């Protein structure tokens, strides 16, 4: 029979991948705690309209990459109704409005870790299902929080051991100054439309900022294009200046990137992406975010300033592998083995060690001791607890599987012995 394989653009996380993923997720959770973010979870699928309104009809995520879903008996209408979430921000803001969270003492600091879905052409570092660590601060106009979030992302990469992540920052203005900037881009690119890709010519009509995002845009055309920072209104300019001053004051490595416009339409003012130094050309941002002061209103709520970021966990793990980042040592594993039909004793001893917080793998077989020891080593155990007659006096054999040294100790002594304290 033909084998069934995982869908294209998805990956299985196998046990050997787990240590890096555990590290990334644990750090995200710990930083969320240290930066006083509270957990929020929203559904994996939402109304299509949430994304088309929130992220913009002309964003790639909506126009090309929407992952539609329907029930087993789903009609065409149902299929048109729901999509797997391509990103978390729209769902979080929907929940913020739906639960009247604006009455809570703000600004709200919300965080989520979970899978996102974009029906894109898969390639290295680009998947149809991928995970993000997302943080959002809702109800804070900045600019201090803008710098705080960039500092948080910086710290995530630094504590992970990815010391060469650089923040690219830009300001793309707001409803007051964006129209004039859009027009300046349209006027400029219209003069060079013969040098644009079909995609960019189309974007020029619906979303001219995204032309700057075209990877095939000729460098001289990109260089000569109007810069958003030259078209900011006074308020946006002051905001951006303040963010840059704070980044300088905090000595956070950053570059002002005039081509950075972000792929989702909800952004206003501060926009940023994190890129691994030396890999800029590949445009594989490892994280990105920005301010979205107009999104709550766009989704039917009251006007609420907000900012957040999403860090790609798959790309973080890939970067850790590429740079051979060291992982923290794992806690020692203990195998519990025995000499005969003593499984009740083995399970009892395993239970006591687990109560003491130790990771334990009892051997459930009746094989010879030697075979059980071999199996324990192969399974990665550092120690074997050998259950025998001495158990009657509360003692067991403890074997160090790396040195081969063995002694008889009481069960209470095991935790200290294996953690090397005595
Ligand atoms: P985004 O830039 O679309 O922003 O995605 C954030 C990160 O998710 C990217 O920098 C990348 O590391 C990862 N990512 C995106 N697409 C893929 C993919 N197909 N495969 C693997 N990794 C991917 C957002 O999603 C915004 N919601 C961020 C945000 C939060 N802005 C404000 N608040």
With b for 16 or more beta-carbon neighbours within 10 A and e for fewer, the 96-131 pattern comes to bbeeebeeeeebbbbbbbebbbbbbebeebebbbbb
pLDDT at 76 over 80: no
At 55, is the pLDDT very low, low, confident or very high (cuts 50, 70, 90)? very high
25 lines ligand 1 (CB under 6 A): no
Q: What is the CA(310)–ligand 1 centre distance, in A? A: 5
pLDDT at 346 (0 to 100): 97
Task: Give the pLDDT confidence of 217-245 residue by residue, as tens digits.
Answer: 999 999 999 999 999 999 999 999 999 99
338 lines ligand 1 (CB under 6 A): no
pLDDT at 79 over 70: no
312 lines ligand 1 (CB under 6 A): yes
In the sheet with 359-362, reading across from the earlier edge strand, the strands are: 359-362, 333-338, 383-387, 395-400, 406-410
Residue nearest to atom 11 of ligand 1 (CA): 312
At 378, is the pLDDT very low, low, confident or very high (cuts 50, 70, 90)? very high
pLDDT at 282 over 60: no
Of all residues in the chain, the percent with pLDDT exceeding 70 is: 97
Q: What is the CA(202)–ligand 1 centre distance, in A? A: 24
pLDDT at 422 over 60: no
208 lines ligand 1 (CB under 6 A): no
> Mean pLDDT throughout 379-391?
94
pLDDT at 284 over 90: no
At 279, is the pLDDT very low, low, confident or very high (cuts 50, 70, 90)? low
At 280, is the pLDDT very low, low, confident or very high (cuts 50, 70, 90)? low
> Mean pLDDT throughout 50-65?
90
Task: Give the pLDDT confidence of 255-271 residue by residue, as tens digits.
Answer: 999 999 998 999 999 99
285 lines ligand 1 (CB under 6 A): yes
Residue nearest to atom 17 of ligand 1 (CA): 126
Q: What is the CA(212)–ligand 1 centre distance, in A? A: 18
Question: To test ligand 1's pocket by mutation, which of 13, 107, 113, 310 has the most ligand atoms within 8 angstroms of CB?
Answer: 310
pLDDT at 80 over 90: no
At 214, is the pLDDT very low, low, confident or very high (cuts 50, 70, 90)? confident
Q: In angstroms, rounded to a whole number, what is the distance separating the alpha carbons of residues 162 and 181?
A: 36
362 lines ligand 1 (CB under 6 A): no
**Ligand 1 atom at minimum distance from 118 CA:** 19
Residue nearest to atom 18 of ligand 1 (CA): 126
Residue nearest to atom 20 of ligand 1 (CA): 126
Task: Give the pLDDT confidence of 337-349 residue by residue, as tens digits.
Answer: 999 889 999 999 9
pLDDT at 253 over 80: yes
pLDDT at 421 (0 to 100): 59
pLDDT at 116 over 80: yes
pLDDT at 398 over 90: yes
308 lines ligand 1 (CB under 6 A): yes
């Amino acid at each position: 029979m033909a084998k069934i394989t995982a869908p294209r653009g998805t990956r299985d996380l196998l046990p050997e991948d787990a240590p890096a993923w555990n590290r990334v997720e644990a750090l995200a959770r710990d930083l969320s705690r240290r930066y006083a973010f509270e957990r929020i979870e929203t559904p994996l699928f939402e109304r299509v309209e949430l994304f088309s309104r929130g992220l913009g009809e002309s964003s790639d995520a909506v126009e090309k990459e929407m992952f539609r879903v329907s029930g087993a008996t789903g009609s065409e209408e149902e299929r048109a109704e729901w999509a797997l979430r391509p990103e978390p921000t729209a769902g979080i803001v929907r929940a913020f409005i739906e639960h009247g969270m604006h009455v809570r003492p703000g600004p709200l600091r919300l965080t989520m870790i979970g899978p996102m879905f974009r029906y894109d052409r898969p390639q290295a570092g680009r998947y149809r299902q991928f995970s993000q660590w997302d943080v959002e601060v809702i109800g804070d106009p900045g600019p201090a929080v803008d710098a705080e979030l960039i500092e948080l992302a910086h710290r995530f990469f630094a504590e992970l051991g990815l010391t060469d992540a650089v923040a690219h920052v830009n300001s793309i203005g707001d409803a007051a100054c964006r129209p004039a900037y859009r027009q300046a881009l349209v006027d400029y690119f219209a003069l060079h439309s013969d040098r644009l890709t079909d995609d960019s010519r189309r974007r020029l009509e619906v979303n001219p900022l995204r032309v700057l995002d075209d990877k095939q845009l000729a460098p001289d055309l990109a260089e000569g294009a109007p810069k958003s920072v030259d078209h900011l209104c006074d308020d946006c300019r002051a905001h951006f200046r303040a963010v840059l001053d704070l980044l300088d004051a905090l000595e956070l490595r950053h570059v002002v990137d005039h081509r950075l416009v972000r792929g989702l339409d909800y952004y206003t003012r501060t926009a940023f992406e994190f890129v691994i130094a030396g890999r800029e050309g590949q445009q594989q941002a490892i994280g990105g975010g920005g301010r979205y002061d107009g999104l709550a209103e766009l989704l039917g709520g009251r006007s609420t300033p907000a900012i957040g970021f999403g860090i790609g966990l798959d790309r973080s793990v890939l970067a850790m592998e590429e740079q051979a980042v060291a992982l923290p040592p794992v806690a020692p594993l203990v195998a519990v083995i025995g000499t005969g039909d003593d499984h009740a004793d083995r399970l009892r001893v395993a239970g006591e060690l687990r109560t003491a917080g130790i990771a334990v793998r009892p051997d459930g077989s009746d094989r010879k001791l030697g075979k059980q020891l071999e199996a324990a080593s192969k399974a990665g155990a550092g120690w074997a607890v050998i259950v025998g007659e001495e158990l009657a006096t509360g003692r067991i054999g403890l074997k160090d599987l790396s040195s081969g040294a063995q002694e008889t100790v009481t069960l209470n002594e095991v935790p200290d012995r294996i953690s090397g304290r005595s």
